[in-house]
Structure 1
Amino acid sequence: MGMGRATAVLVIAAALAVMMGGADLVRAWEDAKVIHVGGRVLCQDCTKGYDEWVKGGSPIKGARVSLTCMDQRHRVIFYGSDDTDGTGQFNMIVDKYINGKQLNEKLCSVRLVSSPDPTCNVATDFAGGCRGVKLSRPRSVYREVIKYAVGPLYYTSPMCEEPETE
């Protein structure tokens, strides 16, 4: 009997810890004034095997990525872009409130815009870079900082581009 009671106490203590952590999570979410959206842009070589193609890839410096957010009526309420650094990373900071209304992150998507590398400037949809990657759930919410991560997104060389057929 004593073992059952100890187990019940542990279960209740664990539930309280989760609830308290959940409350901190909700508070951090509500107190946040901005959201961060980041990721990487890489160049892939189509001449390599699938494993090398997926796991390989070199960062593209200066690749442009856009973030577009819509409202409930499918109107654009935010558009922004960022260029990648030397490691292929981008990071955009967006106000959580636009014109007095709270941004719905699930109506935002990240897309590839351009690559400065003439040997690797064909956008691929391998990870959704052409059609857009929707923000689904934040990677982290901590002390009023909400971070979403997408990608990596990929460009490839012009020789890898598939011809358009109708």
Structure 2
Amino acid sequence: MKLVWSMVLLVAATTMMNVAKCWEEVPASTSGGVILVGGKVLCQDCTEGWNEWVHGNKPIEGCTVSVTCKDERKRIVYYGSDKTDKAGDFEITINKYVYGKKINPEACFTRLVSSPDPVCNIPTDFAGGKTGVKLGRPTIVYRDTIKHILEPLYYTTPMCDEPNASDNDNDNDDSYGKEKNY
């Protein structure tokens, strides 16, 4: 009988220890931390005088800015976006580990997606917002948080948009890029 009670108590104690381990809180240091990407989106109007064009940029509320991160095989492992507030500021939070893989900030880039402004809605590459800004050195590193504060990204008006001069508009080319024989 003593042997049976000893076995029951042993099983009960083992079960209680396993349950206690399940409820154990995971320390913050093993959670991996976060990468913060922040910045500002502004409207740059070329129709103004030089001083107003350079210093008179106004923030755009409601712009969508995205961050895309790729792995070593150039596959997208993270995509996130944020909308700007009244001051034109955005901040995107990325977990350092996504599906068990560590995000490499140098393989991430930030770009402009859309602007709700009916006049100032053409993305520019003045600070890389159109093609994408790679995350370089972090601005702030504190414990498990790495923060990248980017230079302002700009939209402009259709009047200020430069046409693409690299397109060949030859009459000798058809719509498939083959030369016509006359």
What TM-score range do you get, normalising by the shorter chain?
A: 0.7 to 0.9
| Counterpart amino acid of residue 58 in structure 2 | S
CA distance in 2, matches of 1:66, 1:126: 17
Tell me the residue number matched to 1:93. Answer: 93
Contact 1:61 1:88 in 2 (8 A): yes
Alpha-carbon distance in 1 for matches of 2:46, 2:131: 20
Q: Identity of counterpart residues, as a percentage?
A: 57
* C-alpha contact (below 8 Å) 2:35/2:95 kept by paired residues: yes
Which structure features the higher share of strand residues?
1
Higher relative contact order (CA 8 A, sep 6+): 1
| Gap regions ≥5 residues in structure 2 | 1-28, 168-182
Q: Which residue of 1 aligns with 2:55?
A: 55
TM-score normalized with structure 2 length: 0.71
What secondary structure is seen at the aligned counterpart in 2 of 1:151? coil
Aligned length: 138
Name the counterpart of 2:83.
Answer: 83
Cα pair 2:43 2:57 within 8 Å, conserved? yes
Change (3 A) 1:90 1:154: same
Amino acid at match of 1:131: T
Q: Deviation at 1:98? A: 1.2
> For 2:143 and 2:54, how far apart are their aligned partners in 1?
34
> Which structure has the bigger radius of gyration?
2
Q: Looking at secondary structure, tell me which structure has more helix per residue.
A: 1
CA shift digits 1:105-148 (9 cap, x unpaired): 00000000000001100000000001100000111012332111
Q: How large is the Cα RMSD of the aligned pairs?
A: 1.8
By how many angstroms is 1:101 displaced? Answer: 1.4
Using the TM superposition, name which of 36-45 and 142-151 deviates more.
142-151
Consecutive unaligned residues in structure 1, runs of 5 or more? 1-28
d(CA) in 1 for partners of 2:51, 2:107 = 32
The residue that corresponds to 1:120 in the other structure is 120
